Amino acid sequence: MSKYEKIYEELNKQFSAQEIAGRYVFPGDLNEQEKQEIEKEFRELRLKSLKERTEEQRLFSELMRMKLLIRDYLERSGFETDFSFASQLAQYIRILGRSQKDIADEIDLHPTKLSRLLNDRENPNIELIYRLEKHGGNIIPAIYWWKLYSKRLEEQIKTDEERKKVESERVKNNLKFRA
C-alpha cells in the first residue's frame, strides 16, 4: 500500500469520498506516457469547450482578458505604447468585431472624433470614458480607461523638455526663492 493510499484511508474515516475529493489533491504517480495522454485529452476537451462557446461567452471572456491585462499594466510603473488609450480602444473595437462607424454610433460619438482618438490625435474626455464603461457592460471600469490616458500624459510631462522650455518662456514675474 502506497503512502497516499494510507493517507486516503485515514481521511476516509473522517470524511466522505466526495468531501475528500473536494478538499484534497493527491499527486499521481504517472509515467511520461500517461502524463502525455492526460495532457492530450485535456487539450481536446479544452478545444471542444472553446468551439462550443456562444458569442456572448466569447465576448465576455475576451473583455475580461482585456480588463485583467489593463489592470496588470496599470500596476506596473512606466508607460507602454501597447497600452496607450488609443491602442486599447482599437483592441476593444477588434474584440467587438464591429466597424468604427457602428461603435461611434453606439457611443454617440462622431466617427471622425473616434478616428482621431484611435490615431492618437485627440484625447478622451470624461464623458467618453463613462460611455465606454457602459457600452462594455461595465466590465472595464471607467477608471481603467482614464488611467490608460493619464499614464501617457504623465510620461509626456516627465519627458517633454522642449515644450516645458517653450512654456516656461511665456511666464512673466515668476516667484523666486532662495535655497
Spans of all domains in the chain: 3-51, 55-161
Mean pLDDT in each 10-residue stretch from start to end of the chain (179 residues)?
75 79 66 83 84 88 96 94 96 97 97 96 97 97 97 94 94 88
Q: Which CATH number fits domain 55-161: 2.40.340.10, 3.60.10.10, 1.10.260.40, 2.30.180.10?
A: 1.10.260.40
Q: CA geometry: angle at 174 spanning 170 and 175, to 5°?
A: 165
pTM of the model: 0.72
One-letter amino acid for residue 72 of the chain: D
Q: How far is CA 106 from CA 39, 115, 141, in A?
A: 43, 15, 18
Q: Which three cell numbers stand for residue 63?
A: 473583455
